[in-house]
Amino acid sequence: MSPRRKVIRKVSNPPMIKGFKPYGMEAGKQKLETINLLYEEYEALRLIDYNLLNHYQASVMMGVSRPTFTRIYAAALQKIAKAFVEGRQISIEGGKVYFDSDWYHCKKCGCYFNNPEKEKPVNNCPLCGSQQVYKFDLENTYEDVADKACSDMCICPNCGFEQEHKYGQPCSKQICPHCKSFMKRKGSPNCRNFKNQ
């Protein structure tokens, strides 16, 4: 039976350096194997001991469960301790990771953009300035598909009057200017088709 698949870990930025070398008398004489610190272990160490987060916060940032995060962190500490005690080199590479800054999607102009300054919240699309920006991940792509079935128009089920849907204002709260009945989203399943009446 194959082992359980590893969840891909999110690392915000790759480390500045590729590793560490010991120095001193004994260092050059021994030809010890280097210790391979994985990117995810580096990231765990950075979040816990540099950014001083707790395990739960750090696990959310890396997109893994809290127990998994604790295991990654424990492995990082053990590897570093081993390298220190035995005077081995550390090389930081490998691991099942992806480097990411958060990605966003603008529904107005259809562009995707990232947010390199993580501290600042994203409110406007950098291209067209609209506020219809959404955090982009795989779950949202499914929502996108569902959205396409409905057009961006509100329709009056009574007289068929159409107006552009205003973002953030439910169609069911809009009132038709002609017959004063509540509007519905055009193409939605609970909207009667005007032509068939």
User: Under the rule (CB under 8 A), what is the footprint of another protein?
Assistant: 12-14, 99, 101, 109-117, 126-130
Please identify, using beta-carbon distances, which residue of 103 and 182 lies nearer to another protein: 103
* CB-based contacts of 99, cutoff 8 Å, min separation 6: 11, 12, 13, 14
Instruction: Specify burial of residue 187 (Cβ count, 10 A radius: 0-12, 13-18, 19+).
Output: middle
- C-alpha 46/C-alpha 80 separation (Å) is 13
Closest CB 11 distance from another protein, rounded Å = 9
Closest CB 145 distance from another protein, rounded Å = 16
Closest CB 10 distance from another protein, rounded Å = 12
Angle separating helix axes 55-62 and 66-86, nearest 10 degrees: 100
Please identify, using beta-carbon distances, which residue of 51 and 101 lies nearer to another protein: 101
Please identify, using beta-carbon distances, which residue of 66 and 107 lies nearer to another protein: 107
SS3 sequence, 174-197?
CECCCCCCECEECCCCCCCCHHHC
Closest CB 13 distance from another protein, rounded Å = 6
Please identify, using beta-carbon distances, which residue of 127 and 159 lies nearer to another protein: 127
